[in-house]
């Protein structure tokens, strides 16, 4: 049978493939986290900021309703983001466009939760993947038991 990797152990081939997939996935997650972070930061740029009070929480639908005042008018908005640390009566920071204050964005930690989670997963996958791939890529100094014939 013709093979480009003649003499390479199937274990080493499998290890390189397994860790190579981890490395690629981790790198893709890191790129996605960076893109999300840039998009979110650009979206929040130039917006007005104010505080809102949590007036309702629905754990079943994972939503939070806040109330806030802009130019003397009171607004209510339902965020699809839900944090178990948020309680009714808590104050949260929001950002809004002064031309459309009825569609605010959450700021602070919740605004960057998705990029943070993707970035963490990407970092772990990348470290494991690239480390393992480099380990299996190295040339063994001597034959190991599974390569002996």
pLDDT digits (tens, 9 = 90+) for 88-119: 899 989 999 988 898 898 887 777 888 999 99
Separation of alpha carbons 149 and 147, rounded Å: 6
- C-alpha 1: how far from its chain's center? 44
CA 76, 81, 82, 86 dihedral sign is negative
For the whole model, what pTM was predicted? 0.66
pLDDT digits (tens, 9 = 90+) for 16-72: 888 889 999 999 999 999 999 999 888 888 899 999 999 988 767 678 899 999 999
Residue from 91, 97, 67, 69 nearest 79 by CA: 67
Separation of alpha carbons 110 and 81, rounded Å: 8
Length of the chain: 149
Which of the 8 DSSP states describes residue 87? Answer: -
Which of the pair, 45 or 148, is modelled with greater confidence? 45
pLDDT digits (tens, 9 = 90+) for 113-141: 889 999 999 999 999 999 988 887 776 66
Cβ–Cβ < 8 Å for 144, 7: no
Cβ–Cβ < 8 Å for 96, 106: no
């Amino acid at each position: 049978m013709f093979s480009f990797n003649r003499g390479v152990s199937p274990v080493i081939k499998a290890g390189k493939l397994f860790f190579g997939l981890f490395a690629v996935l981790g790198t893709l997650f890191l790129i996605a986290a960076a893109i999300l972070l840039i998009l979110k930061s650009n979206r929040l740029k130039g917006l007005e900021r104010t505080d809102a009070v949590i007036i309702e929480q629905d754990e079943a639908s994972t939503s939070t309703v806040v109330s806030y005042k802009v130019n003397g008018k009171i607004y209510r908005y339902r965020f699809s983001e839900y944090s178990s640390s948020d309680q009714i009566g808590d104050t949260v920071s929001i950002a809004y466009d002064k031309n459309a204050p009825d569609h605010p964005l959450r700021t602070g930690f919740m605004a960057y939760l998705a990029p943070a989670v993707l970035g963490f997963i990407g970092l772990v996958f990348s470290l494991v993947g690239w480390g393992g791939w480099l380990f299996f890529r190295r040339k063994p100094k001597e034959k190991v038991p599974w390569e002996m014939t």
